[in-house]
Structure 1
């Protein structure tokens, strides 16, 4: 996925860019859907729709990589918000939905709790080091490899490898501390 500059006259809005990259976004959403245990999270099409709603008003896209980096963060927010909604519904003994498009809730012990804890850990990491948090979004939520992540962040592959090690250790520390 090379960083392809986007001509300002070629892209009028986020909607146009989502249309151009829809297949790629849907593939990413399908992978996240499978990873989360299909019935537990949003269907892939709904997830792409939720991501679009989060980024629709932005118009300053610099490249495909820039757009995908922002989509990664938006996808994380949507998935963590959905997990929070499921946990709230579970505690209240009723089913709720995130903007009316959540899939049927299914029991998955600790899945939502872990996703919420990961979201909280990443929010804290973003306060301390926004680039590290963006790197995790790209690697974990979008599934970019080191080279693609380096392109999105404007750093080298080697830097991404170092940051990935550091971020995983930090997140592990945060998540294990929140268990206690």
Structure 2
């Protein structure tokens, strides 16, 4: 169970970031119109995950949003896994990368393919994976992502380009 300090920080940051978290959740759910989760439910599920985090400390709002983005990613991936376990047949759908970010179709298989590729990327290039989580799943700007990681916006731009290329190759191959 998290300590009181972690709960106090969560209780302080959550109201201030609630609208931003709803925006992030809405964007994620728009990519998956067949999802049964709704915006508010996704934000609340993320809150519950964050509340259960042992010893969690958030430095500032961008850091909190980055961590919340990871929680939302995990919730959506878990839901996609459940759907795939029930679903029979069908191959994986293509996941494409473009200049605006990574476009994922509404199919659970695509989200799982992206999650697997991102997990492999995190094993070798953790910062690149974190940039993808912040930019794609969290919808954070380059500046917010940079603040979350303690690097410059220019580094985030380079990492984003490199991560997209590596993920594109992983998803094609």
- The two structures share one fold, judged by TM-score above 0.5: yes
What is the deviation of 1:16?
3.7
**CA–CA separation in structure 2 for the residues paired with 1:65 and 1:110:** 27
Q: Which has the higher strand share?
A: 2
Runs of at least 5 residues in structure 2 that lack an aligned partner in the other structure:
90-104
What is the deviation of 1:41?
4.8
Q: Does 1:138 align with 2:155?
A: no
**CA–CA separation in structure 1 for the residues paired with 2:168 and 2:36:** 23
RMSD: 2.2
Deviations 1:117-164 (A, max 9, x none): 001111111111111111000100111121221111111111111101
Partner of 1:169: 165
CA contact (8 A) 2:69 2:133 kept: yes
Equivalent of 1:79 in 69, 76, 81: 76
CA contact (8 A) 1:55 1:74 kept: yes
Q: Does 1:43 align with 2:38?
A: yes
Q: Does 1:20 align with 2:21?
A: no
Partner of 1:54: 49
Task: Evaluate the alpha carbon distance shift between residue 51 and residue 110 of structure 1 in structure 2; reply closer, same or farther with a 3 A threshold.
Answer: closer
Moved over 6 A (4+): none
Secondary structure (helix, strand or coil) at the match of 1:40 reads coil
CA contact (8 A) 1:41 1:82 kept: no
**CA–CA separation in structure 1 for the residues paired with 2:19 and 2:58:** 18
Deviations 1:75-97 (A, max 9, x none): 111111111111112239xxxxx
**CA–CA separation in structure 2 for the residues paired with 1:110 and 1:146:** 26
**CA–CA separation in structure 2 for the residues paired with 1:130 and 1:53:** 25
Deviations 1:13-70 (A, max 9, x none): 4244223311111111111111222x32521111111211221134411111111111
Aligned length: 152
Q: Does 1:64 align with 2:65?
A: no
Question: How does 1:29-40 map onto structure 2 within 5 Å?
Answer: 29-37=25-33, 39-40=34-35
Q: TM-score when scaled to structure 2?
A: 0.79
Equivalent of 1:121 in 97, 105, 117: 117
